Structure 1
Amino acid sequence: MDYWITLFHTQPWLFITLVALLGLILGSFLNVVIHRLPIMMDRDWRIECQEYCEQPVTRSDLPETFNLATPRSRCGHCQTPIPMKHNIPVLSYLLLGGKCHSCQGSIGLRYPMVELMTAAVLAMMAWQFGPTPTFAALSLLSLGLIALAFIDADTMLLPDQITLPLLWLGLLFNIKDGLVPLEQAVAGAAFGYLSLWSVFQLFKVVTGKEGMGFGDFKLLALFGAWLGWKPLLLIILLSSVLGAAYGILQLALGKLKRDNPMPFGPWIILAGWIALLWGDQIVHWYLTRVLGL
């Protein structure tokens, strides 16, 4: 192990390359999580509701065993199982021309995009932090955040099955020699949740409507647990600006109606990544160049 650590420190390009390749594989798994986890959640909710209402339990048309590992991945059009040789990240998509090998149905561009994004994010973490425990922890965080971003974009859900373990992991990571002292991490988790919760309650009192979901509160608390309370204002401001700009663009293009809800989680996640990697530089630039302090 010491040999590999030394090699990666002396040859950082090798470490970054291997991490990027691993990212492609993990990105393929994230595609499974993004697709299946909301279906699994919906199925469990329906069963719980039927049991509570003392109704006959129906399990829809899904296989009896349906989880992240079983059954094998299948074509969304013809339901043909996908062989391993056609399940190579990115490469299989290119060789197949973005179409199923069996029915020629189109394969969504989302799949190679998630794989490439995962590879790029993990490679960036490898370049920034090197072969360290911090790299390993932040890579695990990044994998969870990618899954959360796409699930929220698809379903407007931020599953507790991902958010809460990552929040607790952030607190554990900061017990000793983490990103911030533990007291800042605890304060960050509390402030992250309560800040958006307060905005939610105020908006509800003023308008009578719910402006965001509780998953957004937990997501910001997650970033507070990892980064402490100091970057949270930057994350809130950045996510608001990014989300508003996207919403205005969608309205202008006619792809979004004014009263339609829009997921906020992806913008919190993007802003959180920016704060993680470049937060100090952004704050320094703002204080010196904009405020002249």
Structure 2
Amino acid sequence: MISPFAFDLIAFIFGACIGSFLNVCIYRIPAGLSIVYPGSTCPRCKTAIPFYDNIPIVSYLVLGRKCRTCKLPIAVRYPLVELLGGLFALACVRVFGPTLHGLVVFAFIAILIVISFIDLDHRIIPDVISLPGIPLFFVAAFAVPAVTWQARAIGILAGGGSLLAVAWGYHLFTGREGMGGGDIKLLAMIGAMIGWQGILFTLFAASAIGTLAGILAMLKSGKGMKLAIPFGPFLATGATLYIFFGDTLIEWYFHFL
């Protein structure tokens, strides 16, 4: 029988390996490249990375944070994404157990990680991820017994519709685009997974965290209100918080009021 520690370790390693693949997606999808072929290569010198230099987190440390061939620094984002993959896989196992429910939640969070980092880098949320994600997670979420299919259907409409209304209103009053279409589709995908109740929480949390981050970023940059900040990572953060802490945070909020 596998001990709890060994099981947790297996979950973490599995998640870290998935995180390594997520790095490939983050780099290649915006560039229109295949995420399957060729194998992992250094983004600077394009040299193929052997398997012993592609061990999640470990290789980054063993290589001294540099490519073995060109000696240029490896971005810290690579081990960070692998670490996030490992930690979220561990969290899913701890909260949901080794179940289909846990696997679906982990897949959803993995997609959110890819979307978040692409949005940070390129200010886009690729349709190739979010649009298929809407029906995919609507169906996959049947493994999530706490959310009915009716709540998920309303979540798709409420998620996409709410941000569409905000974008339309902002453009009407300012004459400028303030909300990208990618955010609208992302929130529809989130609604397909966690339902309309989760959409309300996600929007509130994303707005609160995004406002705080925006203020700090504006103070640091000195650009004032002209600074553009991607909203996708905050939506992803809000959805993830809802999955793991939604009930607790909502209860705390109403108790505080």
Give TM class, smaller chain: over 0.9
Does the aligned pair in 2 maintain the 1:189–1:221 contact within 8 Å? yes
Does the aligned pair in 2 maintain the 1:179–1:226 contact within 8 Å? no
1:15 aligns to 2:7 (yes or no):
yes
Q: Aligned equivalents of 1:179 and 1:96: distance in 2?
A: 45
Change (3 A) 1:256 1:33: farther
Does the aligned pair in 2 maintain the 1:26–1:118 contact within 8 Å? yes
5+ residue gaps, structure 1, are: 1-6, 41-65
Q: Aligned equivalents of 2:8 and 2:132: distance in 1?
A: 27
Does the aligned pair in 1 maintain the 2:167–2:179 contact within 8 Å? yes
1:254 to 217, 221, 224: 221
> How far is 1:257 from its partner?
5.3
Amino acid at match of 1:15: F
Q: Aligned equivalents of 2:88 and 2:144: distance in 1?
A: 23
1:32 aligns to 2:51 (yes or no):
no
1:145 maps to what in 2?
Answer: 112
1:235 to 189, 197, 202: 202
Change (3 A) 1:283 1:157: same
Max radius of gyration: which structure? Answer: 1
Map 1:88-127 to 2 at 5 A.
88-127=55-94
Q: Aligned equivalents of 2:4 and 2:101: distance in 1?
A: 16
Q: Aligned equivalents of 2:113 and 2:45: distance in 1?
A: 28
Q: Aligned equivalents of 2:93 and 2:128: distance in 1?
A: 26
The TM-score with structure 2 as length reference comes to 0.94
Does the aligned pair in 2 maintain the 1:189–1:228 contact within 8 Å? yes
Q: Aligned equivalents of 1:78 and 1:231: distance in 2?
A: 44
2:193 maps to what in 1?
Answer: 226
* Between structures 1 and 2, the one with greater helix share: 2
2:126 to 153, 156, 159: 159
Amino acid at match of 1:74: T
2:136 to 164, 169, 172: 169
Does the aligned pair in 1 maintain the 2:205–2:238 contact within 8 Å? yes
> Which is worse superposed, 229-238 or 69-78?
69-78
Structure 1 residue matching 2:137: 3-state secondary structure = helix
> How far is 1:164 from its partner?
2.3
* Aligned-pair identity (%): 35
Q: Aligned equivalents of 1:174 and 1:167: distance in 2?
A: 11
Q: Deviations over 1:86-122 (max 9, x none)?
A: 1111111101100111221111111000000111111
1:270 to 232, 237, 257: 237
Change (3 A) 1:23 1:100: same
Does the aligned pair in 2 maintain the 1:25–1:115 contact within 8 Å? yes
Q: Aligned equivalents of 1:215 and 1:152: distance in 2?
A: 9
Change (3 A) 1:20 1:159: same
Change (3 A) 1:103 1:203: same
1:179 aligns to 2:146 (yes or no):
yes
1:48 maps to what in 2?
Answer: none
5+ residue gaps, structure 2, are: none
Q: Aligned equivalents of 2:223 and 2:26: distance in 1?
A: 23
CA RMSD of aligned residues (A): 1.7
